């Protein structure tokens, strides 16, 4: 971004805005004078109401508006849309951040990607930066974000990630792993929920009557098992991200698949532990475990066969030959 030299100042060093902006329907707009101006941009302001020498109140007023097609904030992720052009990417309250973490690497892997990661990551993963800090250096990233609708603030979130610097430079492997493990996590949590739905449906159907589906889903949601599973898998993702670079991508994916199996089984056991005293609930648990086992089969089949088993199979084939 071009700078206006001495005029590019932080907001507190610039001449004050004119007063009574709260009387305007739309704030005055202009382009930033440089990075200092943009990064301290005053989008909102408070105007004091005075009665003589005393302040009797205040008005929340508009501040400075950005003119059309302004430079994009280098600390914020953006997405290109057909109607609105480049917009900032907010947080989805229903999804944990780590499930979208592949976007931090994909910009380095896909040149025509419509999602643009923060420019600060491009600078941090530039050849000059990697030469200075080393590609194997571990970066600590604090990711801050919010979900808002106009003046309503729905969610504020702070996340922390650790990863090797070179993963942000050549993001192909990291992106592929992140996408693959997201798919595995979706299978695991989906299997867990399906098993719990079966468990709840059988437990709530004495005499083989058909239970109310709303009651079934309300009971399943009350256990919080899927939320617990996503949280636990997030911890495994953090560990995988730290190790990626020391292990091959295939091994990283397999480790995460094994973690998915363990987490799904543990969360199912925890959610159903309290009801394993009566016969109907024991039957429900057995049927739920059957569903869980069937739904987790894709994860089991994705695991590589142990080396000893593979060697035994090879020897058997050679013996037959």
Same domain (yes/no): 179, 282: yes
Same domain (yes/no): 228, 284: yes
Same domain (yes/no): 295, 187: yes
4 band by pLDDT with thresholds 50, 70 and 90: low
Where do we find the tokens 């609105």? Answer: 84
Q: How do residues 249-306 score in pLDDT, each as one tens digit?
A: 888 889 999 999 999 999 999 999 877 677 888 999 999 999 999 999 999 887 765 5
- What does the block give as tokens for 294? 């069937």
Between the alpha carbon of residue 104 and those of residues 39, 111, 301, the distances in Å are 21, 13, 29
- Which of these ranges, 172-181, 248-257, 303-312, has the smallest mean pLDDT? 303-312
Same domain (yes/no): 299, 219: yes
**4 in a domain, yes or no?**
no
Distance in angstroms (rounded) separating the CA atoms of residues 249 and 232: 21
Q: Of 37, 66, 95, which one is at a domain's C-terminal end?
A: 66
Tally the residues of the chain. Answer: 321
Collect all residues with Cβ–Cβ distance below 8 Å to 66 and sequence separation of at least 6. Answer: 29, 30, 31, 32, 41
Same domain (yes/no): 201, 256: yes
Same domain (yes/no): 140, 163: yes
The count of other CB atoms within 10 Å of the CB of residue 50 is: 10
Same domain (yes/no): 121, 201: no
Between the alpha carbon of residue 50 and those of residues 24, 58, 233, the distances in Å are 19, 9, 55
Of 85-89, 138-142, 190-194, 199-203, the range with the highest mean pLDDT is: 190-194
Q: Domain count for the chain, please give it.
A: 3
* pLDDT at res. 314: 37
183 band by pLDDT with thresholds 50, 70 and 90: very high
**278 in a domain, yes or no?**
yes
* pLDDT at res. 67: 82
**DSSP-derived 3-state class of residue 43:** coil
Q: How do residues 54-71 score in pLDDT, each as one tens digit?
A: 999 888 777 777 887 788
Same domain (yes/no): 195, 277: yes
For 107, left (φ over 0), alpha (ψ -120 to 50), or beta? alpha
Same domain (yes/no): 146, 231: no
Average pLDDT, the chain: 81
Task: Check whether 309 has a pLDDT greater than 60.
Answer: no
Which whole number is the average pLDDT over 7-15?
A: 89
Task: Check whether 41 has a pLDDT greater than 80.
Answer: yes
Distance in angstroms (rounded) separating the CA atoms of residues 296 and 316: 29
Q: Give the domain CATH number at 228.
A: 1.10.132
Domain holding 210, by residue range, is 174-306
Same domain (yes/no): 236, 299: yes
Residue from 225, 224, 221, 217 nearest 266 by CA:
225
Give the side-chain half-sphere CA count within 13 A for 177: 27
* pLDDT at res. 2: 62
* pLDDT at res. 161: 84
Which whole number is the average pLDDT over 5-34?
A: 77
Q: Of 22, 40, 66, which one is at a domain's C-terminal end?
A: 66
Strand partners, 86: 80
Distance in angstroms (rounded) separating the CA atoms of residues 219 and 190: 16
Same domain (yes/no): 110, 163: yes
Contact 299, 261 (CB under 8 A): yes
Same domain (yes/no): 53, 107: no
Q: Of 126, 150, 170, which one is at a domain's C-terminal end?
A: 170
Q: How do residues 110-126 score in pLDDT, each as one tens digit?
A: 555 677 888 888 888 88
Where do we find the tokens 């020391």? Answer: 246
Distance in angstroms (rounded) separating the CA atoms of residues 215 and 310: 48
**6 in a domain, yes or no?**
no
Contact 164, 193 (CB under 8 A): no
**321 in a domain, yes or no?**
no
Task: Check whether 227 has a pLDDT greater than 70.
Answer: yes
């Amino acid at each position: 971004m071009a700078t206006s030299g001495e005029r590019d100042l932080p907001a507190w060093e610039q001449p004050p805005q004119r007063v009574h902006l709260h009387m305007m329907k739309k704030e005055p707009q202009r382009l930033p004078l440089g990075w200092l101006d943009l990064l301290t941009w005053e989008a909102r302001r408070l105007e004091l109401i005075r009665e003589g020498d005393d302040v009797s109140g205040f008005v929340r007023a508009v501040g400075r508006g950005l003119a059309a097609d302004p430079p994009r904030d280098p600390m914020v992720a953006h997405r290109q849309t057909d109607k609105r052009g480049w917009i900032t990417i907010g947080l989805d309250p229903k999804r944990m951040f780590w499930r979208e973490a592949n976007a931090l690497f994909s910009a380095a892997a896909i040149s025509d990607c419509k999602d643009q990661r923060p420019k600060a990551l491009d600078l941090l993963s530039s050849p000059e930066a990697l030469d200075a800090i080393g590609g194997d250096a571990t970066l600590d990233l604090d990711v801050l974000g919010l979900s808002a609708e106009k003046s309503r603030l729905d969610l504020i979130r702070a996340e922390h990630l650790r990863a090797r610097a070179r993963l942000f430079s050549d993001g192909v492997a990291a992106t592929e792993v992140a996408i693959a493990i997201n798919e595995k996590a979706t299978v695991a949590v989906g299997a867990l929920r399906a098993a719990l739905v079966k468990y709840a449906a059988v437990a709530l159907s004495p005499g083989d009557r058909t239970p109310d589906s709303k009651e079934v889903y309300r009971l399943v949601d009350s256990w919080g098992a899927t939320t617990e599973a996503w949280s636990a898998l997030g911890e495994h993702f953090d560990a995988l991200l730290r190790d990626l670079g020391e292990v091959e991508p295939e091994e990283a994916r397999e480790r995460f698949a094994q973690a998915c199996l363990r987490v799904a089984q543990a969360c199912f056991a925890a959610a159903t532990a309290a009801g394993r005293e009566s016969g109907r609930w024991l039957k429900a648990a057995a049927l739920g475990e059957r569903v869980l086992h069937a739904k987790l089969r894709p994860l089991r089949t994705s695991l590589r066969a142990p080396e000893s088993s593979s060697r035994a199979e090879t020897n058997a084939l050679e013996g037959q030959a």
